[in-house]
Amino acid sequence: MSSSYVAKRLHQAAIFRTAGRLIPELKALAPKGPRRMSANPVANGGLLRKPLDMPDFRSSKVEVTKPGATLAGNVPTMGNFLREVMRLNMDRFRVFGPDETQSNRLEAIYEVGKKVWLGEYFSEDADGGELAPSGRVMEMLSEHTVEGWLEGYILSGRHGLLNSYEPFIHVIDSMFNQHAKWLEKCNELPWRANISSLNLLITALVWRQDHNGFTHQGPGFLDVVAMGCVTNTGCSSNQYATAGSRNALTIGYVARTLGK
């Protein structure tokens, strides 16, 4: 019998009892309750989710003093509303996008939450860079990356919204379908708490941002969402198309990210 085999058996005898159970001293080191990896509440984010504090959407309304004389865009008006949502929820609401938040006319958000930036700063960044280490807007020119960020954010108990153009949102088609499948399976588990809804603002055709709507068109993602929630019965979707800036505010208030 080799010395290494004897040493191995002696080591096992020091940590296991005759029935193969760990000695109490080692067993006591294992995490208990919510400290266990599988029971960590962050991994079941619905347990930690808090409702959004919602502003009065009428405070972002467009004042019309004379018929046919007031111009207002749909998305900029919603941007004013989202600014107030962010102001009231700096600990649980973020906006995500592939470097298009300003291009999509949501720049009002920057008044209360800049773009997250932890790298080096240059003098030119002060001229419209809208950067800050503690920002609330997450941007990267990678649709699948920001979609992953949003999913992780809501899965851990928070709320968020992703904005992108119609032709580019198709990059995340399969990711949305996987999220829908995940929701379907979660409905089979009684211990899995509901999470916030996956909110996507798709601009260009229906949600015209008024400067390149005719070049950034690629309808079809709405079909992906609808079919994803038909084939995955645990997923439900609400799709809204605005007919004007006031209608956009109403839609923003109705879709206040408290869904499953």
**Residues with Cβ < 8 Å from 117, sequence gap 6 or more?**
129, 131, 132, 133, 135
- With 0-12 / 13-18 / 19 or more C-beta atoms within 10 angstroms meaning exposed / middle / buried, residue 193 is middle
* pLDDT at residue 139 greater than cutoff 90: yes
Average pLDDT over residues 3-32: 74
Across 78-105, average pLDDT: 92
Bridge partners (DSSP) listed for residue 96: 138, 162
* Segment 197-217 mean pLDDT: 67
Q: Which of 50-54, 149-153, 158-162, 203-207 has the lowest mean pLDDT?
A: 203-207
By CB atoms closer than 10 A (0-12, 13-18, 19+), residue 217 is middle
* Mean pLDDT for the chain overall: 83
Ranges of CATH 3.40.50.970 domains, the chain: 50-254
The reported pLDDT for the residue numbered 217 is: 64
Considering only 82-96, 114-128, 140-154, which range has the smallest mean pLDDT?
114-128
pLDDT score of 3 more than 60: no
Mean pLDDT confidence for 171-198 = 90
| Res. 215 pLDDT band, cuts 50 70 90 | low
Percent with pLDDT over 70 in the chain:
83
For domain 50-254, give the fold.
Rossmann fold (3.40.50)
- Cα distances from 243 to residues 74, 85, 122, 199, 248, in angstroms, run 8, 22, 41, 19, 7
Residue 221: pLDDT band (50, 70, 90) is confident
pLDDT of residue 22: 84
Average pLDDT over residues 3-31: 73
Summarize the confidence of residues 174-199 as an average pLDDT. 90
Rounded average pLDDT over 167-183: 90
In this prediction, residue 104 carries a pLDDT of 86
215-219, 223-227, 228-232, 233-237: which has the highest mean pLDDT?
223-227
pTM of the model: 0.81
